[in-house]
Amino acid sequence: MRPTAHHKIPFRLSLIVVCLSSFLAVNRSSANPQGVSSQTNILYITIDDLNDWIGCLDGHPQVKTPHIDRLAERGLLFTNAHCVVPACSGSRAAIWSGLLPIHNGVYGNGQKIERTMPDAELLPLDLKKQGYITMGTGKLLHGNSQRMFDEYGPDYDKWMPILPDERTISEKELKDSSPYVRHEIPRLGITMPLNQMPRDRRRGSRTIDSFDWGPIDRPDEEWTDTESADWAVEKLSQKYDKPFMLAVGFYRPHQPLWAPKRFHDMYPPDSVVLPELPTDDLDDLSPTARELARYALTSGAHSTVVENSQWRNAVSAYLACISFVDEQVGKVLDALDCSEYANNTMIVLWSDHGWQLGEKEHWGKFTAWERSTRVPLIIAPKKNATRKGFLPGKRSQKPVSLLDVYPTVIDMLGLKKRSDLDGNSLTPLLADPNTHWPHIALSTVGRGTHTVRVSRWRYIRYFDGSEELYDHQNDPNEWTNRIDDPEQANIAKRLRNAIPEDKSYSHFVRYNHFKAVVPSDGSKLMLYGPKVEMFAESKDVSKEYPNIVKHIGDYLAANPNAPKHLNLN
């Protein structure tokens, strides 16, 4: 069990002690303290499921993120940054390895890089090999993060402050549930789920549901993200004789959308601004796109949220979780500024992907639309060696990818760079945010489904060949699919051709509610489905549906010139 609040020194007092100790240490050892490396350190902050709802990105008019915003004023804010995969495992595998899913094998949460590439040279391992001390805490990889670091602090636990023995639903509670599974937690005086909604996923599960939101009135110290921030503060008060990487992974605003009550109080549900959703928003999309929007793939269904009058409560809770994490980010930034490493530490902050709160009738991530792929990305060089041309507080509107973070870090630290990295160093944009940038931001939503983002346009191609095109200059909410507009045919063609060919697979086939992926090497096709699993790709069900496998195989054998992206209705 984690220590309770009364076992800990209050954070504000501990930070004062840290700052005072650091001040005395710096003054004792003058401008070049013994045991402190003059090389560049890196503070590497990651946030889970945070979309563009931060103040400096103007994603939501009411959000309060003063600490992330002040980091943006210190560094360069990339306003058109996008994830590689809009799901935790795929996104983080790409960022930490520097490789696209077609090279690291991780397309979604159904795969983990420790299994697809057990010997992958992840960023902290690369830095360690080049002389860095590496430390991490919280959610970093979607899997075993400890193996990447010399020292690993508190791990994340999405259910805290609910304790492990309080999370299991009894057989009686499952049997008696109507219309939702009620689970009492007497110690906290609450009944789960807080939102009092029926489940759209895992209906028979005996674990409390993660698609939930609301305040839990417990001290900050009982939450995972507070533990990670406090550990990072402690690490920044210590001495190191080598340059270091300190990676801090925050879990919120990932669901369940719980935070200490005072953050929920900042956003009264009756007054929150909801995302706009035209009633005909899905009418110009393919059946594949509409089903992806409406399936309860990573969260719950929009219809359930609306029918239970929970939309405002959910938006309020998401905003509360953002402000909670922002405060933790602020604690770590304050500790760095109070430390003897304040001037020779670069800072990187990103979120692994976005999150939809009803836009296009979708909740969660793993879609190819803007709210699911757009993320905060801020890079601040160290203070004592300003990069040529860099000016703090600037913005770059160029389309960039989180895949670009790995090569950028290596360049900024002056280290040797691997030749196989798929991303592009962002250092030219740090020197001039408006310089020529010929690159795209590519996101992958399972095998065969890709979206390309450039300065003005978003293009989407689903695995069955259906397409979408959006003009962000005139349609920032992506309400009008322009793919059939003859005036934009050349734009669509150019962006379609920008998608790298995945030579590992010869065909991607939709057949009713199933998706078939046919390897190029002649091995047996993989079948995913029905319905939700068509997109999630968590389990190959080809052995369970031999007739469907035979039907698809027979068609492809009889039609050798069938397109790579195919819909068999």
Per DSSP bridges, beta strands 190-192 and 183-185 are antiparallel
Looking at 56, 83, 88, 338, which residue is catalytic? Answer: 88
Q: Which two three-digit tokens encode residue 122?
A: 């992840």
Q: Is 88 a catalytic residue?
A: yes
Tally of CB atoms within 10 A around 35: 11
Token pair 């003005």: residue? 456
Closest CA relative to residue 476, chosen from 353, 378, 361, 374: 374
Q: For 234, what's the count of Cα atoms within 13 Å in the CB-facing half-sphere?
A: 15
Active site residue 513: no
User: Any bridge partners for residue 461, and if so which?
Assistant: 450, 467
The DSSP secondary structure of 194-224, one letter per residue, reads: TT----SS-TT-SBPPSS-EEE----GGGSH
Q: What string of DSSP letters covers 77-103?
A: EETTEE-SSSSHHHHHHHHHHT--HHH
Distance CA 359, CA 401 (A): 22
3-state secondary structure of 312: helix
Q: Are 296 and 532 in contact (CB under 8 A)?
A: yes
The torsion defined by the Cα of 428, 429, 431 and 435, in degrees rounded to 10, comes to: 80
511 neighbors 568 (Cβ within 8 angstroms): yes
User: Is residue 74 helix, strand or coil?
Assistant: helix
Q: Which is catalytic among the residues 60, 82, 142, 507? A: 142
Under 8 Å between Cβ of 49 and 352 = yes
Provide the angle, in degrees to the nearest 10, between the axes of the packed helices 11-28 and 224-236.
Answer: 20
Which residues are CB-neighbours of 213 under 8 A, at least 6 positions away?
Answer: 194, 195, 255, 256, 257, 258, 310, 313, 314, 316, 317, 318
Separation of alpha carbons 512 and 530, rounded Å: 8
| Helix 224-236 and helix 311-338, axial crossing angle in degrees, nearest 10 | 10
- Point out the residues that are catalytic: 88, 142
